[in-house]
Amino acid sequence: MTSKHTGRILLACCLAALLPQARASAERLGFSEVWAYLMAGEERYLTAELPVTDVGYFGAGLNAYGKLVGVPGRAGLKGFGGRAHLVVAEVGNYALTHFVLDPRFPLRDALVADIVAAAAPYDGVQLDFEAVPSEDYDNFFALLQLLRAGLPGKILSVALPPRVNEKTDRFGYARIAATVDRVIVMAYDEHWSGSEPGPVASLEWCRQVAAYALSKIPVERLVMGAPFYGRAWGDKSLSRAYKYSSLATLLAEKGIGEVKRNEDIPFVEYVEAVTVRLFFDDAASTLRRLALYRAASVRKVAFWRLGQEDPAVWSGLGALPEGAAPASSAPAPAAPSAPGLAPEQAAGGKGAEDPDKPAL
């Protein structure tokens, strides 16, 4: 057995020994609402013991013609006693979003009617439009107003990108918060696949995002998003196209003399060393982030997404009546879980479904 393997085993043993004690001493963080996003088909992750008050049910989106498709049936959440919200998402197609939002085209009103009809069995509707062209911000606001009028008695919520100052807040946190019931601030992807390596949501950045959100959104309507996923970066990107002269140089650099052929098409194989840097969240870091939000008087949080979390995080969460004061001290974080993520957890976060872009 190598020293590396011995070290890993010792680390796992130490974590296992410390985990019960650390969790037992942890004070539970209370939030009046705990939202969690759930993908249709992954209902197994929504279990009865989770302190989840609201589920954002994913699956609905727009087809190439701007029609609402993929609406999950509320029956998929059978047994869940909290509130269920139909999430309507378009996260990557700017052109489609423009044609849907611009009232000069005959798509918007039909979409509103479809959403209102699909919302019938749900407690609320959430819009998650992450590919809104800058010239359509006012049109997006108009869509929210139409939905507000068409959904009396339903909870209307919207997911918005994280902002730290008014200059970059072109959606207008304040005006949107005056129209909808909940604003979910997606406080993650501070670093994304196209950026330099770094935390998905560093604590200092989260502090700035929360401070700005609280300055524009009434606390009773603000829901701070938190990630359950991690991201990895390699120091080399090896997928690319080559022109022949570059290939000749590469073969010479790698000392490749033999070229194989597959049905007369030449190919070679070689080994390249890649250093990977991975940032992720465990129960300890997640609870630190939640304690930061709680100390700032944030009452509601949302997690992206169920099935990606360190299960130990749930032991640090509890219910808190609306309007109750935050805890006087931050809870002791749970000890990190032993390494080893399930395949679903290692698959990535929201960026696996949307285009990666900076959070401005």
Q: Is 255 within the bounds of a domain?
A: no
Nearest in space to 66 (alpha carbons), one of 107, 119, 102: 107
pTM of the entire predicted model:
0.84
**Range(s) of the domain holding residue 129:** 18-234+280-352
Name the domain count of the chain. 1
The distance of Cα 310 from the centroid of its chain, to the nearest Å, equals 15
User: Mean pLDDT, to the nearest integer, of 127-133?
Assistant: 98
Nearest in space to 151 (alpha carbons), one of 179, 101, 116: 116
CATH number for the domain that contains residue 164: 3.20.20.80
Q: Is 136 within the bounds of a domain?
A: yes
- pLDDT by residue (tens digit) across 157-214? 999 999 999 999 999 999 999 999 999 999 999 999 899 999 999 999 999 999 999 9
Please list the active-site residues: 130
Name beta bridge partners: 128: 89
Q: Is 38 within the bounds of a domain?
A: yes
Q: Is 2 within the bounds of a domain?
A: no
User: Mean pLDDT, to the nearest integer, of 287-296?
Assistant: 97
Q: Is 317 within the bounds of a domain?
A: yes
**Omega of the bond leading into 8 within 30 degrees of 0 (cis):** no
- pLDDT by residue (tens digit) across 8-29? 433 344 444 444 333 333 368 9
Q: Is 208 within the bounds of a domain?
A: yes
- pLDDT by residue (tens digit) across 219-259? 999 999 999 999 999 999 889 999 999 999 999 999 999 99
Q: Is 153 within the bounds of a domain?
A: yes
Q: Is 6 within the bounds of a domain?
A: no
